[in-house]
Amino acid sequence: MIEILHLSKSFKNFKAVSDLNLEINNGQIMGLAGLNGAGKTTTIRAACGIIFPTSGTITVNNFDIVKEKIKASRNIGWVPELPNFEPDARPVPLLKYYAGFYGIKPDEAEKNAIEMMKQFDIYNYRNRKLKYYSQGMKKRFALIAAMIGNPDNYLFDETLNGLDPNGVKEVRDLIINLKKQGKSILLSSHILSELQNVADKIAIVKNGSVVKTLSRDDLMHLGTTGTKIHIKNPDAGMEKILSEFGEFTSDGTYYYIKNNGEVDVSELNRQLVIKNYRVDYISMENETLEDYFLNMVK
Ligand SMILES: Nc1ncnc2c1ncn2[C@@H]1O[C@H](COP(=O)(O)OP(=O)(O)OP(=O)(O)O)[C@@H](O)[C@H]1O
């Protein structure tokens, strides 16, 4: 279980994360969505203890990542956004080295490393130096490094990026499997739809704070239909007609009625036209998850 309470992190005078709260329970996948620069990586780096919070606390299995760093770290597997390893190292010795942090003996570590390299399809490259690994291979290796100690909690920073479609499916299945084992998982992405199929909840981050947390149920109901209308001669009378069909918003050009597809569009059109409103455009439209996300973070 990971608990982030009132986390703030400043770099000089710049506040990258500001009073951010997140709780990731056992057996839960929490998505962390936000545009570039929103504060996702900073949050993850603070949660794995490689940078210190300016204020706030982070606990991992109830161990404070600052005050009880060793105990907390043993319970975390971290896959950085851009995995970078000692270029001249070969995979098995490096995995054995990492396993040492988790208190795993060398023989057992070697056995696990080989098994996992087979599982992740990089066993054929076991003798190759890491500097010759492709980006996708490095990601797979980074996943093994995060899992070698079988920790209870995982921090995956943009882990689905940079993988081919097979890789995305494999990693998605792997994350779901970790969840089934009762692990807590924080998975960041700047693409909301990448998180949609795996996350139990998605926290949307903007300017370093969580602006909204979406449940699975919310996700199911997003991307539903609304009605988009453009009128050449809008006025209060026209808005009154719209309000009879549902709650509406306007971006200054178009009006939108949110209604899950229940508006009788031809009846709305008829009522507007008989009152001499010039309907330029009227259509049922899908708001995609990405539209919703972009509206929320812009
Ligand atoms: N070490 C640092 N020194 C100064 N500013 C930093 C540092 N690390 C991050 N920042 C700034 O903090 C803000 C948040 O960055 P962060 O990497 O957490 O965003 P992100 O949501 O992970 O973005 P991306 O999707 O691009 O990886 C950015 O404005 C970034 O430039």
pLDDT of residue 6 exceeding 70? yes
Residue 3 has what pLDDT? 98
For residue 44, give the ligand 1 atom closest to its CA: 18
More confident: 223 or 196: 196
Residue 261 has what pLDDT? 62
Q: Range of 25's domain?
A: 2-221
Nearest by Cα to 95 from 45, 46, 41, 140: 140
Q: What is the pLDDT of residues 9-23, one digit of tens each?
A: 999 999 999 999 999
CB-side neighbour CA atoms (13 Å) of 252? 0
Among 170, 186, 221, the domain-final residue is: 221
Residue 273 has what pLDDT? 93
**CA 40 – ligand 1 centroid, Å:** 8
> Which one-letter amino acid corresponds to residue 6?
H
**CA 152 – ligand 1 centroid, Å:** 27
Query: Reduced to 3 states, what is the DSSP secondary structure of residue 226?
Result: strand
Q: How far apart, in whole angstroms, are the C-alpha atoms of residue 245 and residue 267?
A: 10
100, 211: one domain: yes
pLDDT of residue 263 exceeding 80? no
Phi and psi, residue 46, nearest 5°:
-70, -40
More confident: 196 or 69: 69
120, 163: one domain: yes
Q: How high is the mean pLDDT of the chain? A: 90
pLDDT of residue 293 exceeding 80? no
By alpha-carbon position, which residue is closest to atom 1 of ligand 1?
11
75, 176: one domain: yes
Q: How far apart, in whole angstroms, are the C-alpha atoms of residue 82 and residue 200?
A: 25
88, 172: one domain: yes
By alpha-carbon position, which residue is closest to atom 26 of ligand 1?
36
For residue 38, give the ligand 1 atom closest to its CA: 21
213, 242: one domain: no
159, 262: one domain: no
pLDDT category, 193, cuts 50, 70, 90? confident
CB-side neighbour CA atoms (13 Å) of 148? 32
pLDDT of residue 267 exceeding 70? yes
pLDDT category, 197, cuts 50, 70, 90? confident
Residue 221 has what pLDDT? 65
Angstrom CA distances, 245 to 242, 264, 270, 285, stand at 5, 8, 13, 15
> Which one-letter amino acid corresponds to residue 77?
G
Among 167, 191, 221, the domain-final residue is: 221
Residue 287 has what pLDDT? 67
ipTM of the complex: 0.95
pTM as predicted: 0.81
Contacts of 161 (CB under 8 A, 6+ apart): 81, 189
Instruction: Give the chain's domain count.
Output: 2
The enclosing domain of 287 has a CATH number of: 3.30.70
The enclosing domain of 114 has a CATH number of: 3.40.50.300
16 lines ligand 1 (CB under 6 A): yes
Please return the burial class of 213, using the count of CB atoms within 10 Å of its CB with bins 0-12, 13-18 and 19+.
middle
More confident: 125 or 295: 125
34 lines ligand 1 (CB under 6 A): yes
Phi and psi, residue 208, nearest 5°:
85, 5
Q: pLDDT > 70: what percent of the chain? A: 96
33, 57: one domain: yes
